[in-house]
Homo-oligomer: A and B are copies of this chain.
């Protein structure tokens, strides 16, 4: 499966992906020629060629059919090497199908799930719409969208500010049922189809964002106006469902980050093997060779960390609250992985540009694209700040680091483990302000430590 995927991408996908990046942000055609509101998204035609291929290959349907996320994330890893952005629609489609399959009433499942799992080009896409204008981290304060009960469904009204895959046939959206508690506890998760039962548009795309990368993905602003929605799970457990959706995308972000770093290194290597300076191929200069080798080790570690987050998610993704300890271990590893793989991707993309010298800053040669794409990965699904603070919290409140050290016990010498453990323990006993203020270097150290140790247990 992966082999075929790679072949296709080398021969076709790469050129299409470059076209799409160069073409810039897609348009919305709000009205058709006859004045009917349609909110049709116009992108380079071949985007569909790329996009649909991944769905057919099983980036979503395999997860639910195989009852395992491994094929899904392996496919994402393979595809992201060629186009990191395209995994965004796949991830949000997965993030729609999974809560529907896990928490949806039977009637909802039979109505919507088959559309998301089709194996041909008629497959529906999903989308996950949480963020509003007040911001994405603090959902409790940020979500102003209100849902009012209406017979067997709900009517949602509000504005979603960062809606990846705007135009999807089905979305999950965070909203607060009218009269529910303030803060995160009052949030619920709803299924929102593109069309109402009467066939008219169920939500409006106000506009698409002009992003520096993932240009194929229509990220928009969506207006919900008495939009038909269907509750998933219970009205007071929405925050758990939201965070479970986020788990899927954080892990995807980690996997894509590693693939992107690998791509940037591959491009740098192929350049360095041909470019001459001072009578030698530049790859033969000791400094560059040394950088390449140590970065390769970094890549292996980052891969191990990302894949461990996949492995653990695959264990816990069907758990429900109240969650087991294993779930909290997953959360810690997922935060470390999201944080560190993105840092590594950005740094590697920067380095790959430098290896290309002056060509690195020219649009013509495309290597600058990896830095743009990497910055998206560093920011989406929670910036470094967010991962650092959340990792801190799951250690403090759930003692997740203890489970982590058990996990690493097989690979790490016990003295190193003990030393790392005491560093963590000391940090956790700092006064609150200082604990937060200095958290980044702790989490960085812990992420690298974990990645390095895990990499020893992974095949090269």
Contacts and interface: CB of A to CB of B under 8 A. Distances in A.
Nearest to A15: B45
B383 A440 contact: no
A205 to B, nearest CB: 11
Contacts of A138: 276-278
A429 to B, nearest CB: 16
Given A275-B135, A279-B141, A287-B388, A378 B364 contact: no
A286 B430 CA distance: 13
Nearest to A384: B354
Given A210-B364, A436-B286, A136 B375 contact: no
Given A23-B44, A45-B46, A209 B364 contact: yes
A379 interface: yes
B362 A436 contact: no
Given A27-B364, A277-B138, A287-B440, A350 B346 contact: yes
A385 B288 CA distance: 8
B379 A361 contact: yes
Given A46-B45, A138-B277, A437-B289, A131 B358 contact: yes
Interface string A208-224: 01111100000001000
A362 B31 contact: no
A162 interface: yes
B368 A375 contact: yes
A293 to B, nearest CB: 9
Contacts of A363: 210-212
B368 A353 contact: no
Contacts of A279: 141
A278 B437 contact: no
A383 B361 contact: no
Interface string A315-355: 00000000000000000000000000000001000100110
A67 interface: no
A271 B221 CA distance: 21
Contacts of A368: 212, 375
B364 A383 contact: no
Contacts of A346: 350
A183 B357 CA distance: 21
Contacts of A221: 30
A357 B136 contact: yes
21 contacts: A12-B45, A33-B271, A35-B135, A44-B46, A136-B357, A141-B279, A209-B364, A211-B361, A285-B436, A286-B432, A286-B436, A287-B389, A287-B437, A288-B385, A290-B436, A353-B379, A354-B379, A354-B384, A354-B385, A357-B383, A360-B375
Interface of A: 12, 15-16, 18-19, 22-23, 27, 29-31, 33-35, 42, 44-46, 131, 133-138, 141, 161-162, 206-207, 209-213, 221, 271, 274-279, 285-291, 346, 350, 353-354, 356-365, 368, 371, 375-376, 378-380, 383-385, 388-389, 432-434, 436-440
| A-B residue pairs, 4 tightest by C-beta | A290-B437, A286-B436, A286-B437, A210-B363
